[in-house]
Amino acid sequence: MKALKDCELLAPAGDKNSFYAAIAHGANAVYLGVSDFSARASAENFSLEELGYYIKYARFFGVKVHVALNTLVKQNELERFLDVAAEVCAAGADALIVQDIFLAPLLRERCPGCELHLSTQAGVNNAEGALIAKRYGFSRVIPARETPIDELTAIAEVCETEAFVQGALCTAFSGQCYMSSFAGGCSGNRGRCKQPCRREYVLAGEKRYALSTSDLCVGERVKELCTAGVTAFKIEGRMRRPEYVAAAVDYYREILDTGVSSPEKKSALMRAYN
């Protein structure tokens, strides 16, 4: 079992300022998207032309860069997807985050030097799913956010496991929600979720946020995840402000380094969120 301070703290970088904030406040790795095939299509993201610069910048500080190519890919997009993946790997990315497990053989052929991480969008929530992912060449699984800790423990026995510790929760099952598609023709699995679950609805004559869940905040319970064998702690938020990214990384960096959080760090996180 890893020591808490040796677990990876993975931060979101939806734009350049968030990228710099994550590194400055102690992230071990950042995850970001490029202009195509990102599940956060509305984020600023990064162009393929500039990606190499940011990867080199991160590497100077010993920080890894994971690139999310985690939308579902249509048949007529496959060659473009593989070309983008190859460019991302050539730029020096440490890992690709992918939703479709069956793309792995093609990616291993085109991107032999890049780790493959199976996105939470794949909906893996048990050891059997992780075992299949490993057989296809994924070195790490990002389980569905609703996965209980006993299942995380079982998954961690199969392969590296990356668990969300902070940020928005999906009211449905990860990767399986079609509400945005039906409500407005914008698919979450294509990076265009309009989050209709976050809106107010009238239920039994009362207008309220009937579907919107509170944000996840694991806090000091990351120790339990570490004991369970989780490799990396992930902060959700590629659509969040740089101030939020800075405060969240700061908060969890302190917990990983010392085992506890100060009231000041938690208060700063709450202020940034609100």
- On the CB side of 138, how many CA atoms lie within 13 Å of its CA? 32
Taking the model in full, what pTM does it have?
0.92
What pLDDT score was predicted for residue 81? Answer: 95
Phi and psi of 46, rounded to 5°? -130, 145
- SS3 of residue 203 by DSSP: strand
Q: Render the burial of 24-46: b for 16+ CB within 10 Å, e for the rest.
A: ebbbbbbbbbbebbbbbbebbbb
Name the pLDDT band for 190 (thresholds 50, 70, 90): low
Q: Give the tens place of pLDDT for each residue, 14-47.
A: 999 999 999 999 999 999 999 888 767 666 789 9
What pLDDT score was predicted for residue 205? Answer: 85
Q: Give the tens place of pLDDT for each residue, 39-86.
A: 676 667 899 999 999 999 999 999 999 999 998 899 999 999 999 999
CA dist 164 and 243 (Å) reads 19
In the chain, the domains with their CATH numbers are 4-169+215-273 (3.20.20.70), 177-213 (no CATH)
Q: What is the mean pLDDT of residues 209-218?
A: 85
Name the pLDDT band for 213 (thresholds 50, 70, 90): confident
What pLDDT score was predicted for residue 52? Answer: 97
